[in-house]
Amino acid sequence: MHRAGPTVNFLAHVVVAQRVEGDSPAVALGAALPDLATIAGCRFDHDRLTADLRRGVACHHRADSGFHADRGFLTGAAAIRSAAVAHGLAPGPSRAVGHVGWELLLDGTLLDQPPAVDGFLAAMAGAADVAPALAPTDRDRWSALVDSVETDQWWRHYDDPAFVADRLYGMVRRRPRLAFDAGDVPLVAGLLAAAQPAVAGAADATIDAVTARLRRAPAA
């Protein structure tokens, strides 16, 4: 069974998958799946996914490797982390705010781009295809996430630093090394608001660089 990693920039993964793998909604869903599974708190059995979903998951992991080595991301996340430490957050929470905060703001820059939003919604239309690869105890969690993506559409608020800060708090509050106090949420929102223009300025170059890296080194 596969537990997804900590990254959460699923809109960016959809965009990269579209550019590298084509317009298959199933592949795009696979590219978003590790992040969505993290959010839902689900495990999935990679071997029980369809071929297109597996292809998307592979694209996700290759994209993460390129993204986490990208200079724009590394510089931007480090700047947020340094600012957080300077404002009194402990090193662990500061790393989380820098890393995940930058990723969520990156997805926020894609909300006005139809290929990203339409591609994600088209991918989620096939979300039921993931269920056979989930543990039976996780299927309700997956269904609840899919419903919230379609009805609440909380992901459309990733361009709002206050929303991102609150989301970050929820993500890390049960992880002692990364958690920050609820009282620090406004501080984190301010740090993210200050960083938002730099993230927007680096977004296109970062996604272009990750796409180019994957095209140069196609999957085996």
Q: Does position 6 have pLDDT exceeding 90, yes or no?
A: no
Q: Does position 76 have pLDDT exceeding 70, yes or no?
A: yes
Backbone angles phi, psi at 8, to 5 degrees: -140, 15
Q: Does position 2 have pLDDT exceeding 60, yes or no?
A: no
The percentage of residues in the chain with a pLDDT greater than 90, rounded to a whole number, is 92
In-domain check, residue 104:
yes
Chain position carrying tokens 């781009």: 113
Query: What's residue 7's pLDDT?
Result: 57
In-domain check, residue 168:
yes
Per DSSP, 112 falls in state T
pLDDT tens by residue, 108-128: 999 999 999 999 999 999 999
Query: What is the mean pLDDT of the segment spanning 2-8?
Result: 48
- Vertex 16 angle, CA 53 and 219, to 5°: 60
Domain containing 79 equals 2-212
In-domain check, residue 22:
yes
Task: For residue 170, name the pLDDT band (cuts at 50, 70, 90).
Answer: very high
In-domain check, residue 61:
yes
Query: What is the mean pLDDT of the segment spanning 76-97?
Result: 97
In-domain check, residue 219:
no
Please count the structural domains in the chain.
Answer: 1
Per DSSP, 130 falls in state G
In-domain check, residue 218:
no
Give the distance from CA 81 to its chain's centroid.
18
List of E strands, the chain: 2-3, 43-44
Query: What's residue 3's pLDDT?
Result: 41
Per DSSP, 48 falls in state G
Buried b (16+ CB within 10 A) or exposed e, 79-111: bbbebbbeeebeeebbbbbbbbbbbbbbbbbbe
In-domain check, residue 217:
no
In-domain check, residue 206:
yes
Q: Does position 52 have pLDDT exceeding 90, yes or no?
A: yes
